[in-house]
Every structure is written in structure tokens, then in C-alpha cells.
Copies of this chain bind each other. A is one copy, B any other.
Amino acid sequence: MPLGHALDNRFAQLCGIEVPFSFDVKRALDINVRHGDFDFLFCPLMYTGYAPNKDKALTLNRQLLPYAGVNTGVTYGQWAGLVFAKISPTWLDLDSEDENVRVNAEAILKQQIEWASYLSVKHCVLPTPDGNSCANYAKCVNQILQGLKNMESAMKLLLRIPVGMSNDDYRPLSNALVDSWETWNSFRMLCDHHSQLVVALDIKRVLPPENSLKRWFGEPVTAAILDTEIFLTKARGNTLYLPKRHQKLIADLFHLDTRIVISEIKVPTSAQSAAGSKSQPLLAYWSQVSNIYKQRDPVSEQERSEFYTRDILQPSLRPSRNYSHAISYDDHEKDLVKYLHYEIAISRALLERVPDERASVIATVLVVVGAGRGRLVHASLKAAERTGRKLRVYAVEKNPQTVIALDELIRANNWDNTVSVVSSDVRDWSAPERADILVSDFLGSFGDNELSPESLDAAQRFLEKDGISIPSSYTSFLQPLTAPKLYQEAKARKDILHSESACLVNLHNVARLTPSQQVFTFSHPKCSDNQSNQRYQKLEFRIPTDTGSAMVHGFAGYFNATLYKSVLFGTEPSTMTPNLNTWLPMFFPLRTPICVHRGSILEVHFWRCVDSRKVWYEWCVTSPSSSPIHNCNGRSCWMDL
């Protein structure tokens, strides 16, 4: 039974239970899942209760190892959906100095994965690697991953990684300790960022600092194992509870669709130990997890609508010579917050420009540059009405398809006297009179990336000297991200184009490593005609020292805009305007992810380049090590002028 009662199955969260080895998986499923509250089992599929003999090379007789699931009526679908295989035992030493131990361990590992694959099990949890020495383990896992056939394409290998420490004398990030995130990072790099290698977090009693923990929100955390030992008992009565930080961590993991596993560490005494006999007491733990789920905020409409676009790269730059399709206008026009901000900004500008006493005399000339289907015209007219100011509006639009809808809108509303529709590129239009106010909406997710500067430069020639541009300025922002999913997506395309193209992304499974920083600012109208729209900015991001080392796969791009004086909006996370849903963040990838070690600085360079035909960005990292300069001469992504 999924935790809580989600209206929408996509947001249901599942909780499993660890059970010891049993030949009879069907019975364990019956007890715990069919008749119990759990959603799946986490269990070994092979009996490996033999203790390793340290004095002697391990020589298991492979034929005799007992397998689970040989003669039971568990269906393909049940193996696939209801069983997480625990690759055991945890003492498998694939990096032993002793060649025999190593070779046997390799054989046992491969055998178990093959057995799980034969049964159609989709999730195999691998033992925790030793951070100091796991190259041979990684080699074996890599061979398994690279050798996965199409049939097994849905199988995921979950590398079990501890988070925090079991005992209380844990000093976070002391130098003697191996940072378990680094172990995971190294293992995943050895396996060449394979998308089927994911993480099972083993949540310990003492958690590392918040920043260190945050790194996991960028990783593919497919399961989180909660040992019953991390649950505490209230002084009065014996009600179970989880420490606050653990509760928060689990709630955050729900957000990533991580499955929870309740586990009670008990070494099975024999292969015959009855599976599931311990399950009843674990229900109390289940309730705790279920409570955390129930306390979450309900899933918003926006979350629902964005579900399928999570972490998917979408091409970003719209060359201006391609006209948008109706569908994109439909989407953008839904953004009530955006147009309300425009209306307020225009209102303020009108009030300041025309004093009350002259309101009935002066008609303000307002040019909507890129009028689309008239939403900004409408906002302007509403502002005029709200302020009692007179307007003469020119609605300039170059997309001939949109002009049809624009014309229709104006006729239908009887705005003919106030609004003139101009079907022209703003660069070619000879304005019959100078404008007091320019209103435009060329802002992209990264501010200037839809050629707002160039479009407004063209419009400036018919703006009064003291005229106003709405927006009057905008600034782009960047933030380094851990985003292995996005990296894998780009890498799968195997070409340089996808590895250095800026994209739009609904960022979800990413870790934001530092606050964002300002990049480029443009103000309108410009002081001087000669002012170039080229820009160059060097940024230094300092990753908090309690984060530890971190992997940077690229940069999120945001913007903030000043429409008029104090009327602002934007997508920069620390100041973002709620419910402003026109813009997804940008993502500027790195061709090769860069590891930034604890305390070192990430130095990044961004350029906005302009030539006679196009505008593009280039970017690179110069510290802690130098990357290639991305998108040289705009070869992979650009905007046509």
C-alpha cells in the first residue's frame, strides 16, 4: 500500500522492508506486501550465510550455493515490481590483496546479478564499496553495466552508500574519514557515468552537515535504507520517532521519488530462518515514514503539469528568423503574474509621465515592440484605464500569422481608435512619431538570450530622449549545479553539439552548489549608441567548505528584470517571483564535469559574443582546472540576428 493516499499515482511513494534470505519468496511477499503494509521486499536471492574465513582463501563450491526463487510461484511482474535484490554478503571483497578471494568474489557477484536478471528483478542493491580501494569492484560492476543486454535495460544497480555515521563520536568531514559521496563519485566516474548505476543511501544515526547532505539531491538516489536503529523512543511511553533532520531528509528524498526501505540488522542464523516473521514489529517504523509523507505539502497543479518535463533538456535558443508557433503563445499568455507586473509597471510610468491635471490632454505614445497576439497591448490599455491616462498605441509585430490574431483582437474590442497594428520587423519600421514608452517582452530565461538588447537597440531610434523602456533593465544569473542526469542525457547524443548547447530545463534532481551570481546586465534606453552588446564576465564561486568536494556538470541560468523602477520580476532562486511560469531555467552544460575539491574556488568565464549575423555565448572553467572553451564561434548554439 503506497504511503498516504496520493490522488495521483505519479506522486505515490513506496516503502519496502528488508527480510533475510528465504527460499520461499512468495510467502515473504504474502506476509509483507499482499497482507502487509509494505510495497516491496528487499532480500538476498542467494544464501551466503557462510562467514568468510580470514585465514584461508575463500573457496566456495559454487554449485552448492542455494538460490531463492527457484520453485516458487512468484510471477515475472512480482519479481520486477516487488523485489529489490540484496547482493550479498556485504563482506564480498573484490579488492582483496588475495587473488583467490578476489576472483571468487567476482564470480559470486556476477552470478547473483545473472540470477536476478534471469528472474526479471529490476533493482539490485550492491554492497558498500571501500572508499580507499574499490577499483576492481568498479571494474566488475562496469563490465556488468556495459554488458547489459536490451532485455536487461531496465535493471538498475544500486550502489549502497552510507550517509553519516552510526556512532556518536562522528566528526563530520575530518580528514581521516573517507567522504562517502567521494566514494560514490569515484565509482561512478570509473563506470563512465553509466545511467543504470544509481544510489541506495544507507541513512545513519548521525547525519553530516546540511551542505554536505545537499549534494545527494543531485544524485540518482533510488532507494534510502532506514535501519531501525536510527529511530528513537520518546521518554514517556514507547512511541517511536525520527530525529528532525532525518524527517526532513526523508521528506526531501520523497521529492526525488526515492523508495524507502525499513531494515532491521540481524545476521540470519541459518538459511532456514523464516522470512517475514519479524515484519509485524516493523509496522511501527512504517507508520513513522508514512507520517512524514502525510505531512508534506499537497502536490500543486504546477508540479503535476511539470512532472513529465523534469530534468529533460529542451532546446533553448530561438533564432529570431523562426516565428513561434501558436502553441507557444498559448503557453506564454497563461502567465497571469507576468502580465499583471507589466500592467503595474506601465501604470506607474504613465502616472509619472503625465501629471493628473494634464491627463485628459496628453496622449502618451506607447509602442509595443513584438506585440504577439496582443497581451501587452491589453495590459497597456488596462493600465491606461486604471490610471485615467490617454494612449496612442502602435503594436509592432513581425510574425504575419500573429498579426491576424492581433487585428482580430483589436477589432473585437473596438480598440481601433487607440491601437494601430504595424505588421513589420521593428528594424524596418519608420515610426510616424516618437514614442514615450516602449513596451517589449523579449526576455529569455537568461535575460538577454532572446535578443532583447538587439531588438531594443533597433527600437531606440524612435524613442523620445527622455522616453521609457519597459523593461528598463535585466540581469542574468548563474549557479553551478551537480546534475548527472542532464550530463548523461547530453552525453548519450555522442556529439559535440549536445555537449555544449544551452538548454531549457525544469531542474529537479539537481544540487545547487552555491548561491547564484550576476553575469550580464543590459539597461534601456542605452546612454550611447556605440555601446556594444558584447559582454565578458569572470565569476568566482566558492563552494561552502562543509559541502566537501562536489561535481559540477554545468550552470543554471536565471534572470531578474526591472520593468519600471520598483516593479521587478525574475527567476533567480533567492528572489524569484512566485507563480511566474513563462520561464524555465537555462542550463549551460560542461562537456566534461569538473570536480571541485573542498575549499577550492570554481572560476568561470562567460562571454556574450556578437558578429554581423548572430549572437552566442561561450563559456569555460579555469579553476580548479581548465575546461575547453565551449561553443566556440557559436558552433553549437546561437541566435540569428
Most buried by B among A538, A618, A622, A635: A622
Q: Name the residue on B nearest A147 (C-beta).
A: B633
Q: Name the residue on B nearest A604 (C-beta).
A: B135
Establish whether residues B143 and A625, one from each chain, have CB atoms under 8 Å apart when the complex forms.
Answer: no
Establish whether residues A139 and B618, one from each chain, have CB atoms under 8 Å apart when the complex forms.
Answer: yes
Nearest CB on B from A553, distance (A): 15
Contacts of A538 in B (CB 8 A): 135
Establish whether residues A139 and B628, one from each chain, have CB atoms under 8 Å apart when the complex forms.
Answer: no
Q: Name the residue on B nearest A592 (C-beta).
A: B592
Nearest CB on B from A60, distance (A): 16
Contacts of A189 in B (CB 8 A): 625-628
Cα-based distance from A139 to B138 in the complex (angstroms): 38
A409 at the interface (CB under 8 A from B): no
User: Contacts A191-B629, A625-B595, A627-B190: A620 and B139 contacting too (C-beta < 8 A)?
Assistant: yes
Cα-based distance from A356 to B627 in the complex (angstroms): 70
**Per-position 1/0 for A85-129, Cβ under 8 A of B:** 000000000000001001100000000000000000000000000
Cα-based distance from A185 to B626 in the complex (angstroms): 9
| Contact-residue bracket for chain A | 35 or more
Establish whether residues A143 and B628, one from each chain, have CB atoms under 8 Å apart when the complex forms.
Answer: no
Establish whether residues B146 and A632, one from each chain, have CB atoms under 8 Å apart when the complex forms.
Answer: yes
Contacts of A138 in B (CB 8 A): 620, 629
Q: Name the residue on B nearest A534 (C-beta).
A: B103
Establish whether residues B191 and A139, one from each chain, have CB atoms under 8 Å apart when the complex forms.
Answer: no
**Per-position 1/0 for A604-641, Cβ under 8 A of B:** 01010000000000101010011111001101000000
Cα-based distance from A539 to B192 in the complex (angstroms): 21
Cα-based distance from A536 to B136 in the complex (angstroms): 8
Establish whether residues B146 and A633, one from each chain, have CB atoms under 8 Å apart when the complex forms.
Answer: yes
For this chain, the copies found in one complex come to 2
Establish whether residues B628 and A190, one from each chain, have CB atoms under 8 Å apart when the complex forms.
Answer: yes
Establish whether residues A143 and B191, one from each chain, have CB atoms under 8 Å apart when the complex forms.
Answer: no
Establish whether residues B632 and A142, one from each chain, have CB atoms under 8 Å apart when the complex forms.
Answer: yes
Cα-based distance from A196 to B191 in the complex (angstroms): 33
Contacts of A146 in B (CB 8 A): 632-633, 635
Contacts of A191 in B (CB 8 A): 628-629
**Per-position 1/0 for A153-187, Cβ under 8 A of B:** 00000000000000000000000000000000111
User: Contacts A190-B622, A592-B592, A620-B135: A142 and B102 contacting too (C-beta < 8 A)?
Assistant: no
**Per-position 1/0 for A527-544, Cβ under 8 A of B:** 000001010101000000
Establish whether residues A620 and B102, one from each chain, have CB atoms under 8 Å apart when the complex forms.
Answer: no
Establish whether residues B147 and A190, one from each chain, have CB atoms under 8 Å apart when the complex forms.
Answer: no
Cα-based distance from A271 to B442 in the complex (angstroms): 50
Q: Name the residue on B nearest A136 (C-beta).
A: B536
Nearest CB on B from A137, distance (A): 11
Cα-based distance from A538 to B103 in the complex (angstroms): 16
Partner of A605, one of B103, B135, B622: B135
Contacts of A103 in B (CB 8 A): 532, 534
Contacts of A190 in B (CB 8 A): 620, 622, 626-629
Establish whether residues A192 and B102, one from each chain, have CB atoms under 8 Å apart when the complex forms.
Answer: no
Nearest CB on B from A416, distance (A): 47
Establish whether residues B143 and A633, one from each chain, have CB atoms under 8 Å apart when the complex forms.
Answer: yes
Q: Name the residue on B nearest A141 (C-beta).
A: B629
Q: Name the residue on B nearest A605 (C-beta).
A: B135
Nearest CB on B from A235, distance (A): 47
Contacts of A139 in B (CB 8 A): 605, 607, 618, 620, 629
Contacts of A136 in B (CB 8 A): 536, 605, 607
Q: Name the residue on B nearest A102 (C-beta).
A: B536
Nearest CB on B from A526, distance (A): 15
Q: Name the residue on B nearest A535 (C-beta).
A: B99
Nearest CB on B from A353, distance (A): 33
Contacts of A622 in B (CB 8 A): 135, 186, 190
Establish whether residues A629 and B536, one from each chain, have CB atoms under 8 Å apart when the complex forms.
Answer: no
Establish whether residues B626 and A186, one from each chain, have CB atoms under 8 Å apart when the complex forms.
Answer: yes
Q: Name the residue on B nearest A632 (C-beta).
A: B146
Contacts of A620 in B (CB 8 A): 135, 138-139, 190
Contacts of A627 in B (CB 8 A): 189-190
Cα-based distance from A627 to B193 in the complex (angstroms): 10
Cα-based distance from A103 to B595 in the complex (angstroms): 32
Provide 12 A-B residue pairs closer than 8 Å at the C-beta atoms, listed in order of the A residue. Answer: A102-B536, A103-B532, A135-B620, A138-B620, A138-B629, A139-B629, A142-B632, A186-B622, A189-B626, A190-B627, A190-B628, A592-B592
Closest 10 CB pairs of A and B: A192-B628, A189-B626, A186-B626, A146-B632, A135-B605, A142-B629, A190-B629, A190-B626, A135-B622, A142-B632
Instruction: Give me 12 other A-B pairs in contact (C-beta within 8 A), A136-B536, A190-B627 excluded.
Output: A103-B534, A138-B620, A142-B629, A146-B632, A147-B633, A189-B626, A189-B627, A189-B628, A190-B626, A190-B628, A592-B592, A595-B625
